[in-house]
Amino acid sequence: MEPTLNNPLRRSVMKGLLGTTSFWVASGNAHWAEALAAEAAQPYQPAFFNAAEYQFLESACERLFPADHNGPGARALGVAEFLDRQMQTPYALGENWYMSGPFEQGPANLGYQLPFVPKDLYRKGIAGVEHYARQQYGKGFAALSALQQDEILTALEGGSVQLGDIPGRVFFEQLRTNTLEGAFADPLYGGNRGLGGWVMLGFPGARADFMDWVNQEGASYPIGPVSISGETA
Amino acid sequence: MVKHVDAIIVGAGWAGSIMAKELTEAGLSVVMLERGAERTTPVEGAYPESIDELRGAIRKRLFQNLSQSTLTIRNTMDQTALPYRQLAAFLPGEGVGGAGLHWSGVHFRVAPEDLRLRSAIIERYGEKFIPEGMNLQDYGVSYDELEPFFDKAEKVFGTAGEAYKVQGKIVGDGNVFSPDRSDNFPLPAMKDTFSASVFRDAAKNAGYHPYSLPAANASRQYTNTYGCQMGPCNFCGYCSGYDCYLYSKASPNVNILPVLRQDPRFSLIPNAHVLRVDLDSTKTKATGVTYLDTKTRKETSLSADLIILGAFQFHNVHLMLMSGIGKPYDPVSNTGTVGRNFVYQTITSSRVWLPPSTYTNQFVGAGGAGVAIDDFNSMNFDHGPLGFVGGSPVWVNQAGVKPIAAALGAGGGGTPRWGSAYKDSLVNTYKHSLGIDAHGSNMAYRDVYLDLDPTWKDAYGQPLLRMTFTWKDNDIRMNQYVVSKIEPIARAMGATKMNLVHLNAGQPFDTRTYQTTHLGGGAIMGENPQTSAINRYLQSWDVSNVFVIGSNAFPQGMGYNPTGMVAALAYWAAHHIRATYLKSPGPLVKA
Ligand SMILES: Cc1cc2nc3c(=O)[nH]c(=O)nc-3n(C[C@H](O)[C@H](O)[C@H](O)COP(=O)(O)OP(=O)(O)OC[C@H]3O[C@@H](n4cnc5c(N)ncnc54)[C@H](O)[C@@H]3O)c2cc1C
Ligand code: SF4
């Protein structure tokens, strides 16, 4: 599949989505796959997260989605890069969340009621986890053993830890959600490198044509994935 | 100067677009106001950028932008309702086409007895069978009256299906519980995905009556009654929550608006958020509407002889409350009608794992395709010994499962939600399992309703709508009963493992996980102005030049998906407006 690179509509859509990160400005009219390859050659420079925060994400996301016999983990898939890029989109500002006060807390089943948008949750949440890690183990999160990191993540998930004004569970769910997005979203967002997430699941990506595969009596789909930019694996 | 047109339509979804088409055909000048943006399939559906799960169903690009307006939700009247801040449980539409642009396309008619459920229950089981506090009501319209309009809608939507009975003759292997039809489906049924075919065989062997879901996904190329064209669906799997890149899924944008836009009597104004319907001093006649241009924040008033609300179920109720159309419902005194009988739908999704040599290829799918049984829907089984009202179809409706959604949903219920063990189960579940849904009715109750919130406001300064809703014992027991019927079918499918999911006693409605966008009631149709907000022609009892079209008209939530019924009700109302109302405007039913 050959993307139609001079289609002005697509370019404006992409800009709207990704803002004016250097990658997209630099890419200009270049072939997306080439641009992605060039990008992969040099390490990604985070623009939203500082070095320590980025290091936290690299280690925490890898525990949530570790490399194993199933396939690559969050680090190899570029999940931290995905997260950093997402923090530069309107999503980070809670673009389609209702964020008018008052903010009253209620039963969990009535949903999210905090005055924080995703970028606040990350800034405060990471600082909170680092603080908790030092308190409990005397070291920053990234310096802990995998076992200790898992203990912290389990505590956050279980709801026993408060991270300043953010419940640990809220931060955990935000991180889990975005980590899985980064593992499986189209690689144009910076994660799912080499389509590794899709290969793991046998998901064909943007093929979107199964005319002959509606029912093949339980056989496994034979064609590998393709991304929006035309990358295959 | 206030501009005047013959008719104003609020909302550019299915309800609004059908009404606009009908009224322009009748020679009226029509302005359709849509709060969201302009949307067309060549732009929103363009390949490959529309084939993007993150931008689509995950970031929820095509749905209502809650930052501008939302509602508040509580389970019981003694709670403080809190804002629905993040889209999850239901996903209302916004923009031209409404939710009709990104729905799935399961296109049902109605189970005839659902239209007269109160009468049917009393005839069979006596009035005492109806639990205390349940507001069970008839629609005031019969299947036979609506049949020509179901037929008309199917021919506009290009609906694919297999009929059972046409003009009294059995013609095919369709749903044996479905009523007689005047004509066949315009297109043959969609093919069964592998998972649907396994379900079909197992259900048949278990003695049930499987049928192909009627789907407004084109099984072949089709040109509809308006001359609009659809291409064949290729089961691309980016269906629910997406604009169809192949013009195969029926939408107002593909099936109606291309011809409407060419009609000089019609104009469509996007980014026009209607604030209220303006009434004259008697409060019995609407003079027009006032809307806000969401780009310039300028208010404009338009005058019209006829106003159609097609803003979607709860937005219609909100507009009625904001405008003073009809009397707001008060659950304490049990008076008033606007906001009364708010209903939803029960849905639980169970999962069945097939052997590891079998691949379910869940990414293959079409929103409307699948195989269902109706053996436990509507009045098709004996409720006597069971002691509940209502029922559920059960189906495999593989609409295309994409990896982020699969990953977010995997794990939980005692199994890991992250780490290596989670990855094992995610991969196994994605490759080898399939889902079976019980998609059932939800009854109306005296203390389940809609009104205005006392605290929170939308971006335009209007109070948010407040929803008081939870699951009730009758509906929980119905769901549990129907889910128990899935187990033998799953066994017959060769399940190596199954996870049967049902509602639990006392479980409150949870706003955090997607259920359906099949909200109903709140401004219901009926024969008695004391217990319904609109008459059997969907005309306001109180302000006779206002018609309120949508699932707000349903007195209770049914097992079927609502849009086929909404479309038929729109054509039904339009027919009576054209045949009677326009000749002599006024109430079509004496109060
Ligand atoms: C993901 C998804 C899948 C679905 N699948 C199915 C299915 O398979 N089968 C089925 O039967 N149904 C399905 N539905 C439900 C279906 O989409 C709705 O029943 C149907 O679209 C309702 O049509 P409507 O015209 O009443 O409302 P809508 O389509 O919601 O249109 C109403 C329009 O009014 C506009 N509006 C609201 N308020 C104002 C205002 N104040 N001023 C101006 N404009 C306003 C809205 O922006 C919207 O565009 C699905 C819904 C979703 C979200
Ligand atoms: S599954 Fe079919 S109807 Fe649905 S979006 Fe894809 S091609 Fe269109």
Residues 6+ away with beta carbon under 8 Å from A146: A63
Cα B146 to Cα B301: distance, rounded to the nearest angstrom: 35
Q: Between residues 43 and 82 of chain A, which touch chain B (CB distance below 8 Å)? A: 63-66, 68, 70-71
Percent of chain A clearing pLDDT 90 (strictly above): 82
Q: For chain A, what is the domain count? A: 1
Percent of chain B clearing pLDDT 70 (strictly above): 100
Q: How far is CA B265 from CA A65, B101, B300, B535, in A?
A: 57, 24, 20, 28
Pick the catalytic residue from B439, B518, B575, B576. Answer: B518
Q: Which pLDDT score, from 0 to 100, does residue B237 have?
A: 98
**Tens digits of per-residue pLDDT, B367-377?**
999 999 999 99
DSSP lists the bridge partners of residue B498 as B352
SS3 A29: coil
Residue B234: alpha-carbon gap to chain centroid: 24
Contacts of A184 in chain B (CB under 8 A): 53, 402-404, 407
Of residues A11 and A77, more confidence is placed in A77
For helices A118-137 and A146-158, give the axis angle rounded to 10 degrees.
120
User: ipTM for the complex?
Assistant: 0.96
- What HEC string does B527-582 produce? CCCCCCCECCCCEECCCCCEEECCHHHCCCECCCCCHHHHHHHHHHHHHHHHHHHC
Angle at the Cα of A33 from the Cα atoms of A30 and A35, rounded to 5 degrees = 50
Contacts of A203 in chain B (CB under 8 A): 363, 402-403, 430
Whether residue B539 contacts residue B588, with contact meaning beta carbons closer than 8 Å, is answered with yes
Q: CB count, 10 Å around CB of B282?
A: 7
Cα B249 to Cα B231: distance, rounded to the nearest angstrom: 9
Nearest residue (by CA) to ligand 1, atom 19, is: B563
Domain-embedded: residue A137: yes
Q: Which pLDDT score, from 0 to 100, does residue A36 have?
A: 54
What are the pocket residues of ligand 2 if the criterion is a CB atom closer than 6 Å to any ligand atom?
B 217, 233-239, 242, 244, 246, 248-249, 366-367
At B413, the pLDDT band (50, 70, 90 cuts) reads confident
SS3 B10: strand
**Residue B209 annotated to the active site:** no
Two structure tokens written together for B52:
């993007």
Q: Which of A23-27, B341-345, B384-388, B464-468 has the lowest mean pLDDT?
A: A23-27
Cα B106 to Cα B397: distance, rounded to the nearest angstrom: 9
Q: How far is CA B147 from CA A212, B111, B159, B555, B558, in A?
A: 35, 11, 15, 19, 18
Give the range of the structural domain holding residue A170, as residue numbers without chain letter.
Answer: 48-97+112-195
Q: In angstroms, how far apart are the furthest CA atoms of chain A?
A: 58
Nearest residue in chain A measured CA to CA from B467: A110
Would you say how long chain A is, in residues? 233
> If you measure from the C-alpha of residue B20 to the centroid of ligand 1, how many angstroms do you get, rounded to a whole number?
16
What are the pocket residues of ligand 1 if the criterion is a CB atom closer than 6 Å to any ligand atom?
B 10-16, 33-36, 91-95, 98-100, 102-106, 240-241, 273-274, 310-312, 315, 319, 367-368, 517-518, 550-551, 561-564, 566
Cα B470 to Cα B343: distance, rounded to the nearest angstrom: 10
Q: What is the pTM of this model?
A: 0.95
Rg over CA atoms, chain B: 23
Strands (E), B69-159: 71-74, 82-83
**Tens digits of per-residue pLDDT, A206-221?**
999 999 999 999 999 9
**Tens digits of per-residue pLDDT, B174-227?**
999 999 999 999 999 999 999 999 999 999 999 999 999 999 999 999 999 999
- Contact check, Cβ <8 Å, A211/B234: yes
Atom of ligand 1 nearest to the CA of B63: 53
Whether residue B99 contacts residue B312, with contact meaning beta carbons closer than 8 Å, is answered with yes
Q: Which pLDDT score, from 0 to 100, does residue B124 have?
A: 98
Domain-embedded: residue A81: yes
Q: Which pLDDT score, from 0 to 100, does residue B151 have?
A: 98
Cα B227 to Cα B262: distance, rounded to the nearest angstrom: 13
Q: Which of A177, A211, A228 sits opposite B52 (nearest CB)?
A: A228
Cα B466 to Cα B535: distance, rounded to the nearest angstrom: 24
Cα B356 to Cα B360: distance, rounded to the nearest angstrom: 10
Cα B528 to Cα B17: distance, rounded to the nearest angstrom: 29
Average pLDDT over residues B335-361: 98
Task: Supply the mean pLDDT for chain B.
Answer: 98
Closest-approaching ligand to the CA atom of B241:
1
Nearest CA to B389 out of B453, B473, B289 is that of B473
Range list of H helices, A4-73: 8-18, 22-27, 32-41, 51-64
What is the CB-side half-sphere exposure of residue A145 using CA atoms within 13 A? 4
At A66, the pLDDT band (50, 70, 90 cuts) reads very high
Cα B277 to Cα B546: distance, rounded to the nearest angstrom: 9
Residue A132: alpha-carbon gap to chain centroid: 23
Residue B192 DSSP one-character state = P
Cα B542 to Cα B440: distance, rounded to the nearest angstrom: 32
Whether residue B458 contacts residue B404, with contact meaning beta carbons closer than 8 Å, is answered with no
- Contact check, Cβ <8 Å, B191/A215: yes
Whether residue B231 contacts residue B218, with contact meaning beta carbons closer than 8 Å, is answered with yes
**Tens digits of per-residue pLDDT, B156-184?**
999 999 999 999 999 999 999 999 999 99
Cα A100 to Cα B459: distance, rounded to the nearest angstrom: 9
Nearest residue in chain A measured CA to CA from B46: A10
Q: Which pLDDT score, from 0 to 100, does residue B591 have?
A: 83
Two structure tokens written together for A208:
């979107």
Two structure tokens written together for B250:
């029926």
Residue with tokens 């799997």: B237
At B71, the pLDDT band (50, 70, 90 cuts) reads very high
At B400, the pLDDT band (50, 70, 90 cuts) reads very high
**Tens digits of per-residue pLDDT, A177-201?**
999 999 999 999 999 999 999 999 9
Would you say residue B94 has pLDDT above 50? yes
Any CB–CB contact under 8 A between A197 and chain B?
yes
At A21, the pLDDT band (50, 70, 90 cuts) reads very low
Would you say residue B44 has pLDDT above 60? yes
- Contact check, Cβ <8 Å, B84/A98: yes
- Contact check, Cβ <8 Å, A203/B403: yes
Cα B275 to Cα B284: distance, rounded to the nearest angstrom: 18
**Tens digits of per-residue pLDDT, B117-156?**
999 999 999 999 999 999 999 999 999 999 999 999 999 9
Percent of chain B clearing pLDDT 90 (strictly above): 99
Q: Which of A11-15, B233-237, B301-305, B474-478 has the lowest mean pLDDT?
A: A11-15
- Which is it for strands B30-33 and B169-170: parallel, antiparallel or unpaired? unpaired
Q: How far is CA B289 from CA B6, B92, B142, B578, in A?
A: 12, 22, 33, 22
Residues 6+ away with beta carbon under 8 Å from B587: B535, B539, B541, B544
Domain-embedded: residue A26: no
Q: CB count, 10 Å around CB of A135?
A: 8
Q: How far is CA A155 from CA A140, A158, B419, in A?
A: 16, 5, 14
Kindly list the structural domains of chain B, giving each domain's residue range(s) and its CATH number in brackets, ordered by start. Answer: 3-581 (3.50.50.60)
